[in-house]
Structure 1
Amino acid sequence: MLNWVEIVIRSFIFLIALFLLTKWLGKKQLAELSFFEYVTGITIGSIAAEVTMGLERHIMHGIIAMSIWTLFPIVMGLISLKNKKVRDFVEGKATIVIKDGKVMEDNLKKERYSIDELMEELRSKNVFQISDVEFAVIEPNGDVSVLLKKENQPLTAKDMQLKVAPIKEPQTVIMDGKVIDEPLSTIGLNRGWLNEELEKIGVSVDNVFLGQIDSYGQLTVDLYDDKIQVPTPQEKPLLLASLKKCQADLELFTIQTESMEAKQMYNHNSQKLNQILSKLTPLLKT
């Protein structure tokens, strides 16, 4: 067999083997690597490259070596799940580098982090002054986690005692001009409803690059033709306006009627609707 033909065959074999072994290792290998996983990944790749180009080497020897290097971190991972000492040794521990707005210089040197690198990490998290930081640690993967002091944290709806609407995962129902039926059925809708919503905004499915339905049942679309202006969903503002009109009408009826019984009924229902509005307004304005 010609050398170049054998290299092509070996490359395809090891490409498939690497893909399967990486899938076996799990998604963590594709995201945040510990030092041990980093070394393992480099070694597996080196073995694959060596056996691919080393025509005198047997393919099975390379696959066996790669399998061992893949199996070992899996076994160590299972052991680490049950033993914290092993987990700390293999994956490392977080190191405190800022506490109460003060830099822990010894810990910073221990991790071989310069103050410039630390400031760079803080700036990437929109923190520009160390005194604003309550607590910061270097994670085992090298990332820096930051907790701002309470007075420097952004206000939340809870801090302001505001009620906000719960948000659920939006469902993607159109992608690349094609309707996806599964997410539609998940939220209890169908193509008939979707076609009606598209007709309201005057677009066709073929021209929709991406279409999503939020937790309130509102459809938002991104079109292939960016020059076309799509109106924003109006369901919630219209519902809020209708409720306010009903409440105003009840107050008007209370003033206009001469019947005391009717006046009490209108006034009672107006107050009830006003209470409902006070609860719904924060939800319908979002």
Structure 2
Amino acid sequence: MKEYLLMFGDTVFGFIALFVLVKALGKTQISSLTPFDFISAVILGELVGNALFEKESGIPEIAFLVALWGILLYITEITTQKYKGSRALLEGRPSIVIHKGLLMFDVLKQNRLDINELQHLLRSKDVFSVEEVEYAVLEVDGTISVLKKPDYQTPTNSDLNVSPTPVKIGRTIISDGEVVWDNLKEAKLTKTWLEEELHRQNVQSVEDVFYAEWQENQQKLFVTLYHNQQKKE
């Protein structure tokens, strides 16, 4: 029983320590995963895992490993920020796989990317034909950025001589049955207005609402109830 309690304590501490480490290092460790970030995550998980299951190791050892690895990653991040020459080595460089509509076979080969994988990446960008692409860049995190040929680009308001309308972000007003008061205040709405609007959409209580969003462009409240029951204007 004592061993299980020790393992429980070590696991909880390791979880908290890793969570704090990711928060301290920033979102880049979990969003754009470069090859170096992937290696870092694997090694850190291995270190903590070994520390958890070795009887001689405990919370002090886990704390030391997490702190040491965090310091090394922090030094690496500072190095890439201050010394541009180190970025290519530690983070990699983007590669142009399609240049002026032509497939760059040598670049694809260098990045171990075959044509089927390239087509998969293009489809993820809503491109279903290589012919549509003017430039395609393989990013360091394995994603692809695409610039279509002019004939295949979506026309903008300026192309159509249409006057643009102001873009306004939707605000979450209710989440999981609770009012997000800060967003309600920023939208210059009141509790009374919210209650009246919910009643107008036949919603009896805030607790019945799974998600509600104030769509400022359309001046309406989008409401979704629990159990996939939806109320619209």
Same fold judged by TM-score > 0.5?
yes
Unaligned ranges ≥5, structure 1: 233-286
* Map of 1:27 onto structure 2: 27
User: For residues 157 and 168 of structure 2, what CA distance do their matches in structure 1 show?
Assistant: 17
The answer to whether 1:208 aligns with 2:199 is: no
Q: Kindly tell me: are residues 102 and 22 of structure 1, through their superposed partners in 2, closer, same or farther at Cα, counting changes over 3 Å?
A: same
The count of corresponding residues between Structure 1 and Structure 2 is 231
| Alignment-mate amino acid for residue 142 of structure 2 | G
User: For residues 16 and 200 of structure 1, what CA distance do their matches in structure 2 show?
Assistant: 45
User: For residues 202 and 164 of structure 2, what CA distance do their matches in structure 1 show?
Assistant: 31
Q: Kindly tell me: are residues 10 and 197 of structure 1, through their superposed partners in 2, closer, same or farther at Cα, counting changes over 3 Å?
A: closer
| Alignment-mate amino acid for residue 210 of structure 1 | Y
User: For residues 226 and 5 of structure 1, what CA distance do their matches in structure 2 show?
Assistant: 41
Unaligned ranges ≥5, structure 2: none
* Map of 1:182 onto structure 2: 182
Secondary structure (helix, strand or coil) at the match of 1:173 reads strand
Larger radius of gyration: 1
Secondary structure (helix, strand or coil) at the match of 1:98 reads strand
User: For residues 213 and 39 of structure 2, what CA distance do their matches in structure 1 show?
Assistant: 41
Give the counterpart of 1:224 among 213, 223, 226: 226
User: For residues 226 and 61 of structure 1, what CA distance do their matches in structure 2 show?
Assistant: 48
Deviation at 1:59, TM superposition (A): 4.0
Deviation at 1:123, TM superposition (A): 1.8
User: For residues 25 and 174 of structure 1, what CA distance do their matches in structure 2 show?
Assistant: 31
Question: Identity of counterpart residues, as a percentage?
Answer: 32
Q: Kindly tell me: are residues 177 and 89 of structure 1, through their superposed partners in 2, closer, same or farther at Cα, counting changes over 3 Å?
A: same
Structure 2 matches for 1:1-286, cutoff 5 A? Answer: 2-57=2-57, 59-206=59-206, 207-216=208-217, 217-224=219-226, 226=228, 230-232=231-233
> Normalized against structure 1, the TM-score is what?
0.74
The Cα RMSD (Å) is 2.0
User: For residues 231 and 24 of structure 1, what CA distance do their matches in structure 2 show?
Assistant: 41
Tell me the alpha carbon deviations over residues 217-246 of structure 1, each in whole angstroms, 9 at most, x when there is no partner: 322211236566x452xxxxxxxxxxxxxx
User: For residues 225 and 35 of structure 1, what CA distance do their matches in structure 2 show?
Assistant: 41
Deviation at 1:113, TM superposition (A): 0.7
User: For residues 167 and 213 of structure 1, what CA distance do their matches in structure 2 show?
Assistant: 14
The answer to whether the Cα contact below 8 Å between 1:208 and 1:221 also exists between their aligned partners in 2 is yes
* Map of 1:278 onto structure 2: none
The answer to whether the Cα contact below 8 Å between 2:93 and 2:139 also exists between their aligned partners in 1 is yes
Name which structure has the greater RCO, CA cutoff 8 Å, separation 6+.
2
The answer to whether the Cα contact below 8 Å between 2:34 and 2:140 also exists between their aligned partners in 1 is yes
Q: Kindly tell me: are residues 190 and 227 of structure 1, through their superposed partners in 2, closer, same or farther at Cα, counting changes over 3 Å?
A: closer
The answer to whether the Cα contact below 8 Å between 1:169 and 1:215 also exists between their aligned partners in 2 is yes
Secondary structure (helix, strand or coil) at the match of 1:113 reads coil
The answer to whether the Cα contact below 8 Å between 2:10 and 2:58 also exists between their aligned partners in 1 is no
Q: Report which of the two has the higher share of strand.
A: 2
* Map of 1:239 onto structure 2: none
| Alignment-mate amino acid for residue 220 of structure 1 | F
Q: Kindly tell me: are residues 174 and 88 of structure 1, through their superposed partners in 2, closer, same or farther at Cα, counting changes over 3 Å?
A: same
